A and B are shown apart, each in its own frame.
Chain A
Amino acid sequence: MNDLPMLNYDVVVIGGGPAGMAAAVRAKKLGLKVLLLDDNDYLGGILPQCIHPGFGLHYFKEELTGPEFAARFAKRLVELGVDYRTAARVLEIKNYSDLEKVVVFSSPSGAYQVWTRTIIYAAGARERHAFEIGIVGDRGAGIYTAGEAQTLMDIYGVMPGKEIVIVGSGDVGLIMARRFALEGAKVKAVIELMPYPGGLARNIMILRDFDIPLYLSHKVVEVRGKERVERVKIVKVDENLREIPGTEFWIEADTLIISAGLVPNVKLLTAIGVEIDPATGGPVVNDLFETSVPGIFAAGNSVIINDLVDYVAEQGELAAEGARLFIDKEGIPTRRWIKLEKGENVRLLVPHYLSGERDVWIYARVSKPMENVEVRFPEIGKKLRLPVVKPAEMLRVKLRREEIAKARDGITMEVVPL
């Protein structure tokens, strides 16, 4: 290692998407020496390929497209003079001590080692692919994840096909359904495993706008077509998601788009022993988004899959504040950590630990949709009523410092019908 060029920073931000850019901007404003690394050729993460509107309503109070949102952040980054490198891939993180960490990265100008006091990990997520969801049959051209199809269309200008079947009615799948329809392709079906759609209400409208059939409680089990996709086999499932024999049918299509959910990218974190929450797939974090390894913070979709870019940016900023505090105090000075537990109808949540020393936004998802519910934190006597909750829509609830302080041991979050 000694022969590698050495750089020195207070904080290295890994990932140049919205979480990473927001973290870098905030850290710089807080007076830290920041280096941001991204392996793409451009900043913005996946935003530059998300050419549809709907970004930044909370953050910028106006509706932007993905490239516009990314450009605004990139501009701030450049204006503030944040050091950043694109086409730079982190190969390894070494954790020598709480205040001594090394990030090794490779780039077209070679490999470097960066000595840093803190790291903000914002490497985003990957998409689940056809093999992971058990689709069998042929493996010709025309099978893409939604994000890959989006990259092909909106970064490289390639039309993947003309008759499309989409697996998954989450936001990404629905937005791609519209994207294909707008370019003149025929979207023949959106296939959803669950008995309810997976996307935000505003995106479910797309199906009606473009007259796209939605099959709830169905799954794609097989794809045929040797050189390229020719048809896909679909089957109905019961309430336990078991296939119902005799309900199989085929749809002719030349393209199958898999939009079956995202999985946080955590390989660099697991390599250094960061604790992972099996429910979120991301690291276990405290209320400053610090992981189980002191001084390593995480933010955005590498922690929890978010619906809105605004939340992602918010988490990046919080992590930056954590890094500042960590450097000032040589660690996060907290007397006790209160564990936040999942109760009834809560599938996942972050942060996992609360200090009670600051107000906290809780990000959570329910297991099943419900109407007229109460979100309760029984140990501290907090309740709030909501007309409807859906797994597709992240719950974001604020707990105030004084409220958290009432807890003796843990706090449970539950979502119960009224």
Chain B
Amino acid sequence: MKTKVAIIGAGISGASIARVLSRYENLEVHLIEKAPDVGWGVSKANTALIHGGYDDDPKKYPMRAKLCIRGNRLWHQWVKELEIPHVWNGALIVATKEEDFDELERLLERGRENGVPEMRIVDREELFHLEPNLTKEAIGALWVPIVGQIGPIPAVIAIVENAVANGVKTHLETEVTGIKVENGEVRGVETKDGFIEADVVINAAGLYADEIARMAGIDYFEIHPRKGEYFLFDDSIPGPRRVLFPTPTPISKGIVVTTEISGHLMIGPNAQDLPPEEKENLATTREGLEQVWEGAKKLWPQLPPRSKVIRTFAGLRPEPTGGDFIIKAEEEVWGFINVAGIRSPGLTSAPAIAYEVAEIIQRDLGIELVEKRKWNPYRKEITHFFMLSPAQINEVVKRDPAYGKVICRCNRVSEGDVLEAIERMKFIGIKTPSVDSVKFRTKATTGTCQGSFCRPRIIQLLAREYGVGPWEVTLKGKGSEVGIGDVKVLLRGEEA
């Protein structure tokens, strides 16, 4: 008899849990997600950092302090097994005033307590050796070499692909409407598409984790969104080599200046607390972006002109009551595990969260986990034309001529890359074709021109491969169709 596990939410936490649980012979794992694709909630828009684990106070936030450093270590392994784009470039927490060193000393001390290796305070001379174009106001920094960056959505995609290959079943576009509890035990998950039976329900619903918990009768915490806004610049603009933080204040880690893994200078985030009901408010604002700009300028005075901005975006962090991650089997409802309030450093902690959950299942639910004899830890990254040498291009076109045809000019994405992305979308169960699904797998549409050349071609390929009209292809799921019908639809009087 297999134990049926339902994980609600295919973000970085839910996906990581699914992967770790896919290891066990006696579990049947279902991953449930209301969006059309994985990683589109909190995981989608953030600073993409694998943090060092030095800034969470173990007395105040024991879960965060424990899981961040463990997560960092696990990511070093996971990026290799799953071929996730990453860079280990280290971070500098920069002091610009003498009194900043007091805070840096505190961070250094806490980092040692949390088990962070290789941290140290560097003087001005070494600082400028590490980062030559930093503000001249800088007088020293805390140097944390283990900090890195990954592609957060590519990471979720890689993890889910691997989990599915190991037997996890996905239910995309499946919104949870209730949790069935009988005699203090969970029985399953009610969704808009029917009932999914489960002996264990894991709530990894991000911003909605409080609502899901309430469906199971658990209401001791609330999640409110904290918005952060970002700028991304054209890849012709040089950025820093390291991740740059200002010295933190009691309220905030401050605005980061970094070169994200695709080579774009990125600045952000600010922090704006929103009421709990604004969990869908992803609009950028003039004021917020202005704050980010001013904040970033303090570390990186040579910000490019605004005409070099290629994108602005906002992300929401789920802030829980109490501030620490809530990861536990709830005693009142046997089989219900909360993985809630996974705010920063949630991306970093995700693999560690997953192992924590596996432990909870064994320890607190008393389910003995039996390892599969054959479990595949590996997943191959999609072909990226931009990484191929001309000789390698000649190898891949033998497989399929589409790999030789570039359709995204700015980021050099081939038609073959796009077709492979669509194949992989279908593999993990994506039902609604969307441009964003292709974008997050290939990087098409994210370059200098922001897709004005390649988006129509991608729409055409999606329409063909999914067998729908091009106007039915969506930007990011139902309601965001790229058109209202064929070009004569209005003249025919068929109002779309």
Residues of A within 8 A of B (CB): 1, 3-4, 39, 87, 89, 91, 104, 106-111, 113, 126-132, 134, 136-141, 144-145, 147-148, 151-162, 183-185, 221-222, 224, 226-228, 254, 265, 267, 270
Contact = CB atoms under 8 A, between A and B. Distances in A.
A126 B390 contact: no
Contacts of A226: 280, 282
A148 B448 CA distance: 15
A4 B487 contact: no
A234 to B, nearest CB: 14
Nearest to B495: A162
A185 to B, nearest CB: 6
A156 B470 contact: yes
Interface in B448-496: 448-453, 455-456, 459-460, 470-471, 474-491, 495-496
Given A109-B401, A183-B487, A89 B406 contact: yes
Interface in B365-424: 385, 390-391, 393-394, 397, 401-402, 404-406, 409, 412, 414
B397 A109 contact: yes
Contacts of B485: 159
Nearest to B401: A108
B455 A89 contact: no
Given A111-B390, A159-B483, A129 B306 contact: no
A306 B448 CA distance: 21
Contacts of A128: 307
Interface of B: 236, 280, 282-286, 289, 306-307, 309-313, 385, 390-391, 393-394, 397, 401-402, 404-406, 409, 412, 414, 448-453, 455-456, 459-460, 470-471, 474-491, 495-496
B474 A141 contact: yes
Nearest to A158: B483
Contacts of B309: 131-132, 134
B402 A159 contact: no
Given A132-B310, A158-B471, A221-B286, A110 B482 contact: no
Contact of B390 (A4, A158, A160, A224): A4
A162 B484 contact: yes
A156 B456 contact: yes
Given A108-B404, A152-B483, A159-B487, A131 B310 contact: yes
Q: Sorted from nearest, which 7 A-B pairs have the closest CB atoms?
A: A184-B490, A227-B479, A89-B406, A108-B401, A111-B390, A141-B480, A158-B483
Given A145-B452, A158-B470, A136 B487 contact: no
Given A129-B449, A140-B475, A141-B480, A104 B488 contact: no
Contacts of B449: 126-127, 129
Given A138-B283, A140-B480, A162-B495, A148 B390 contact: no
Contacts of A254: 484
Contact of B488 (A134, A147, A183, A228): A183
Nearest to B480: A141
Contact of B283 (A131, A137, A155, A185): A137
Contacts of A109: 397, 401, 404
A226 B484 CA distance: 17
Contact of A151 (B402, B456, B478): B456
Contacts of B401: 108-109
B175 to A, nearest CB: 15
Contacts of A134: 306, 309
Given A109-B397, A136-B283, A162 B496 contact: yes
Nearest to A49: B456
Contact of B452 (A89, A91, A127, A224): A127
Contacts of A147: 452
A4 B404 CA distance: 14
Given A159-B489, A183-B490, A4 B282 contact: no
A136 B456 contact: no
A185 B490 contact: yes
Nearest to A144: B452
A218 B448 CA distance: 26
A224 B282 CA distance: 10
Contacts of B479: 227-228
Given A132-B310, A136-B285, A141 B482 contact: yes
A305 B484 CA distance: 32
Contacts of B488: 159, 183
Given A131-B450, A159-B484, A161-B483, A183 B390 contact: no
Contacts of A156: 456, 459-460, 470
Given A113-B390, A145-B452, A158-B487, A224 B283 contact: yes
B405 A87 contact: yes
